Structure 1
Amino acid sequence: MAKKNELWEWIKALVIAVLLAAVIRYFLFAPIVVDGLSMMPTLHDQDRMIVNKFSYTIGEPDRFDIIVFHAPENKDYIKRVIGLPGDTIEYRDDTLYVNGTAYEEPYLDEYKKQVIDGPLTNSFTLRETPVGSDVVPEGHLFVMGDNRRFSKDSRHIGTVPMEEVLGKTSVIYWPIEDVRLIK
């Protein structure tokens, strides 16, 4: 009888562990692999990261958060939030202007030093992108990759509806030499 009771306890523990892991992965945190170079130099191809799915359940995205979202071609993209609902976005002379105010983008400094044949980010206004209006629509985000010359982002696919956002990511856990928190 003791053996049967012990086996039952092990089965219950295993079922609880599997259910707990499934709940955590589905609702709270999930792994994702960076695919491509669009977020260089911040993120590298094949970096493995944790997506915090809970972050926007209780809060709103902040400008410059790195998010994961479902893109139109049935892929998940990792990009940086540049524009929030109601913002006007413009790039002029390689400088970001949000609502008419110039913003620093320190995460681009490394790439800007390497570019010798023009700006890292070509000049544009929201109206000149698929957004087609002067402001980021309510319930949407304007996102861009850090590797501005080689990123398919809101300049090409339009804004991202909030319901397509999986969550925020800021932890690289693999490869081991690159483990860090990112901004």
Structure 2
Amino acid sequence: MYEDPVKEMLIWMKVLLLTALIIFGVRQFLFEPVIVEGGSMQPSYYENDKLVLSKATTITNFDTIVFFAPDDSRFIKRVIGVPGDHIKMSGGEIILNGQPLDEPYLDGGGNDEFTAQPQLASEFSVPPDCYYVLGDNRSNSTDSRVLGFIQKQDVIGEVKFRFAPFREFGFVE
């Protein structure tokens, strides 16, 4: 009925090791939890929101991603342009591939920060293996307007789930 204590301890050690390897693998290659720092993504995400990133995903326009900035800090921003996209920023709007963007995630649904900063008006194409990202809180965001294009290799993952605050619990659209 009772096994040898040494044999039982070895079985438990194997179970714990296997569990640790599975957890490490999931975190390293599939999912990673993050905590939002700063207000650059308000009103979509607020300071201390707790999110889960998917590392196994294809990044598309308007996805929210977390990436390594040049100083190795982690930034969360919205993808506006993917490789090959043509972007024009002028006046108070962004034109993506010839079509004005509808950005309902912005506070008030508009984009008037570009009007306040006319030096940001420009036109360009997103190069291969790069993304053009902007914070939802355009007047308080260090994004591609400052950092330039974000390299694909610097992307940690796409935001897929919010688990705190609890009133916002669920999958992210």
> TM-score scaled to structure 2, two decimals?
0.89
Give 1:171 shift: 0.9
C-alpha distance after superposition, 1:31-83 (max 9, x if no partner): 1110000000000001111111111xxxx311000011110121011100001
Contact kept? 2:31, 2:52, Cα under 8 Å: yes
| Displacement of 1:149 | 0.7
CA contact (8 A) 1:67 1:81 kept: yes
- The TM-score, its normalising length taken from structure 1, stands at 0.84
Count how many residue pairs are aligned between Structure 1 and Structure 2: 168
Q: How far, CA to CA, are the matches of 1:93 and 1:170 in structure 2? A: 32
What is the rounded CA distance, in whole Å, between the counterparts of 1:138 and 1:79 in structure 2?
19
1:120 is displaced (CA, Å) by: 3.6
Matched residue, 1:130: none
Please state how far the C-alpha of 1:126 moved relative to its aligned partner.
4.0
Q: Which residue of 2 aligns with 1:47?
A: 49
Superposed CA RMSD: 1.9
Given candidates 152, 155, 158, the residue that maps to 2:145 is 155
Contact 1:84–1:141 (CA<8 Å) still a contact in 2? Answer: yes
Shift of 1:125: 3.9
How far apart, in 1, do the equivalents of 2:22 and 2:48 lie? 27
SS in 1 for 2:40: coil
2:16 aligns to what? 14
Aligned pair in 2 of structure 1 residues 153, 180: CA closer, same or farther (>3 Å)? same
Identity fraction in percent: 33
After TM superposition, which residue ranges in structure 1, 4 or more long, deviate above 3 angstroms? 120-127
Please, which moves more after superposition, 24-33 or 173-182?
Answer: 173-182
* Structure 1 residue runs without a partner (length 5+): 128-133
Report whether the alignment pairs 1:86 with 2:84. yes
1:112 has 2:104 as partner: no
> Equivalents in 1 of 2:21, 2:160: separation in Å?
26
- TM-fit CA distance, 1:137: 1.2
2:165 aligned partner: 175
**Among 5, 8, 11, which residue is 2:7 paired with?**
5
The residue number in structure 1 matching 2:66 is 68
Aligned residue among 20, 24, 34 for 2:26: 24
Structure 2's unaligned 5+ residue stretches are: none
CA contact (8 A) 1:126 1:135 kept: no
- Check whether the contact 2:90–2:122 (CA below 8 A) recurs between aligned residues: no
